[in-house]
């Protein structure tokens, strides 16, 4: 394994810049060939990827494929299919005010050398999914993976070394010290997925080089799910339970807290308990139930649960040796309590009761806090749901569903405010990793002196009327 330090990282960045400056990555057919290589590599290493995800996160074969492997392949296929169209220069009529120019083109230009900093929770998807967008844009890429997901990082290093030359794609391992060494370098684009706290540091380092940044964050006050009194409680409970079990709650778009109309709180809780029992049973002995990423993550989860011991209505047990903690429902929890004002990233689920006719007051409270990456509504009142979804500020979400907004072809994924900036997936990822350059094609014939001095005297009699005619 290569030892990463200031010199080796700088050398790798410079070798990638040298390759980029040859213009090799500009050819769209070249990019498509590289995307096909990436797709084939992911498919070839499928079983090893499943094993690595099991080792790091305790993820079952089905969950590994659904959340990481299959989703990456889906993303790459979408990009391959649309790339030639997306990369084609746009043609625009220059306008009468630009006469005699008739044609303006907008070229979609790659940034250059990109840095992708990926997290532990979906190490394959959030590394290779972003890499696919970077390749599509015509860039080279250095991926700094999480030091917490060691098995996945080791495998991804081997996969990329077998597939691409290091001056095109490199995977770098190591802790925060290595990440800081990467951030000392001048990259042309940085894409970071992680926490708002670290994002501030990434932005500060990027500002030193005026490097553009895309951020995909979880949001500091968490993602709300609202269950109205008219909701299908069994359906809502089933979907919420599935989502909280998934990756043991370690998902940036997961439900952080459920606000349920107090008129239906008790039957909802009963349906939620039944859903957990049906889907996972005894979570601590079920081999399909994922584990928390580290001992410290387990201890944090257990400490939160201990503080709410008297309000645990389901779950509450853990096994430190396995790093597994049951899906745990806390009820009732006030909307003002600390536990619902931060991202949990665990299988704990605070349930906040509210009066259904005061839902607008709840929405005002949510809007007053930092923007979440997701918002979920369960209700039969679709007109109300559409009004909420088109007026609140959040990354994305669902009505009467959970998490699937992430997997819709052609749709962007990204946050706003403390949940991030920028968007990707499909064409949106291509846009995130390219800069639109506008180029006007002029003419040396029929050039009128409209824009040139003098503006007074006889010229004013015809120049001003023409300017007002053309520039409107």
In the numeric block, which tokens belong to residue 130? 């972003």
Class of domain 225-369+374-410: alpha beta
In the three-class reduction of DSSP (H, G, I as helix; E, B as strand; rest coil), residue 112 is classed as coil
Active site residue 252: yes
Question: Cα(401)–Cα(236) distance, rounded to whole angstroms?
Answer: 8
Active site residue 403: no
Q: What is the pLDDT of residue 97?
A: 85
The mean pLDDT values, 10 residues at a time, for the chain of 472 residues are 89 98 98 98 98 98 95 97 98 91 96 98 98 98 97 98 98 96 98 96 98 93 96 98 97 97 98 98 97 98 98 98 98 97 96 98 97 97 98 97 94 95 97 98 87 85 85 81
The reply to whether 6-219+421-435 and 225-369+374-410 are identical in fold is: no
Q: Which of 75, 167, 216, 427 is catalytic?
A: 216
* H-state helical runs in 58-195: 61-64, 70-87, 125-137, 150-163, 176-184
Q: Which of 182, 252, 301, 403 is catalytic?
A: 252
The conformation of residue 424, written as its DSSP 8-state character, comes to B
In the three-class reduction of DSSP (H, G, I as helix; E, B as strand; rest coil), residue 316 is classed as coil
Q: What are phi and psi of 169, to 5 degrees?
A: -140, 130
In the numeric block, which tokens belong to residue 115? 């840095």
Between the CA of residue 32 and those of 81, 232, 317, 357, what are the distances in Å?
9, 45, 49, 53
Q: Which CATH architecture has domain 6-219+421-435?
A: 3-Layer(aba) Sandwich (3.40)
Enumerate the β-bridge partners of residue 169.
Answer: 141
In the three-class reduction of DSSP (H, G, I as helix; E, B as strand; rest coil), residue 245 is classed as helix
Q: What is the pLDDT of residue 459?
A: 82
Q: What is the pLDDT of residue 458?
A: 83
Between the CA of residue 410 and those of 78, 426, 430, 472, what are the distances in Å?
8, 6, 11, 34
Q: 421's torsion region: left (phi>0), alpha (psi -120 to 50) or beta?
A: beta
Q: Taking the model in full, what pTM does it have?
A: 0.96
Domain-wise residue ranges, the chain: 6-219+421-435, 225-369+374-410, 442-470
The conformation of residue 89, written as its DSSP 8-state character, comes to P
């Amino acid at each position: 394994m290569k030892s990463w330090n200031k010199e080796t990282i700088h050398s790798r960045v410079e070798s990638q810049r040298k390759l980029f400056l040859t213009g090799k990555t500009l050819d769209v057919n070249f990019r498509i060939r590289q995307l096909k290589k990436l797709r084939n590599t992911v498919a070839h290493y499928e079983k090893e990827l499943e094993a690595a995800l099991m080792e790091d996160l305790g993820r079952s074969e089905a969950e590994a494929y659904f959340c990481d492997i299959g989703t990456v392949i889906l993303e790459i296929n979408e990009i391959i299919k649309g790339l030639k169209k997306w990369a084609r220069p746009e043609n625009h009529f220059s306008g009468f005010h630009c006469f005699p120019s008739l044609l303006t083109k907008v070229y979609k230009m790659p940034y250059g050398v990109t840095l992708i900093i990926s997290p532990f929770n979906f190490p394959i998807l959030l590394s290779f999914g972003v890499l696919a967008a970077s390749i599509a844009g015509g860039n080279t890429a250095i991926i700094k993976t999480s030091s917490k997901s060691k098995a996945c990082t080791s495998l991804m290093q081997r996969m990329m070394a077998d597939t691409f030359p290091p001056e095109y794609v490199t995977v770098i391992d190591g802790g925060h010290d290595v990440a800081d060494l990467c951030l000392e370098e001048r990259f042309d684009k940085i894409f970071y997925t992680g926490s708002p706290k670290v994002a501030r540091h990434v932005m500060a380092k990027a500002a030193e080089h005026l490097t553009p940044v895309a951020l995909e964050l979880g949001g500091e006050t968490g993602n709300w799910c609202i269950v109205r009194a008219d909701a299908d409680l069994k359906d809502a409970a089933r979907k919420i339970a599935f989502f909280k079990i998934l990756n043991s709650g370690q998902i940036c778009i997961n439900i952080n807290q459920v606000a349920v109309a107090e008129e239906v709180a008790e039957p909802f809780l009963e349906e939620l308990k039944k859903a957990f029992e049906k889907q996972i049973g005894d979570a601590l002995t079920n081999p399909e139930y994922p584990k928390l990423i580290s001992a410290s993550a387990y201890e944090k989860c257990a400490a939160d649960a201990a503080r709410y011991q008297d309000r645990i209505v389901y779950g509450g047990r853990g096994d430190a040796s396995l790093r597994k903690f049951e899906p745990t429902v806390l009820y009732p929890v006030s909307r003002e309590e600390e536990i619902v004002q931060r991202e949990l990233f665990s299988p704990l689920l605070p349930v906040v009761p509210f009066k259904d006719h005061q839902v607008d007051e709840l929405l005002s409270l949510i809007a007053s806090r930092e923007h979440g990456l997701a918002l979920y509504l369960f209700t039969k009142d679709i007109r109300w749901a559409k009004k909420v979804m088109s007026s609140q500020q959040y990354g994305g979400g669902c009505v009467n569903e959970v998490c699937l907004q992430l997997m819709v072809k052609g749709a962007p994924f990204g946050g706003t405010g403390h949940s991030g900036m920028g968007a990707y997936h499909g064409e949106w990822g291509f846009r995130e990793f390219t800069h639109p350059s506008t180029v006007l094609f002029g003419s040396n014939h029929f050039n009128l002196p409209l824009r040139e001095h003098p503006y007074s005297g006889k010229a004013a009699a015809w120049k001003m009327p023409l300017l007002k005619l053309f520039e409107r």
